[in-house]
Amino acid sequence: MNKITLLPSLIDKINDVIVANDIVSEITLEQDNSSGIDSITTMSWYTEHNGYHTKMTVEITGVKDW
- Domain borders along the chain are 8-65
The per-residue pLDDT for 15 is 97
pLDDT in tens, the chain (66 residues): 678 888 899 999 999 999 999 999 999 999 988 877 878 899 999 999 899 999 999 999 887 776
3-state DSSP assignment of residue 15: helix
Q: pTM of the entire structure?
A: 0.80
The per-residue pLDDT for 4 is 83
The per-residue pLDDT for 39 is 83
Cβ distance 43 to 24 under 8 Å? no
| Sequence letter at residue 45 | W
The per-residue pLDDT for 46 is 96
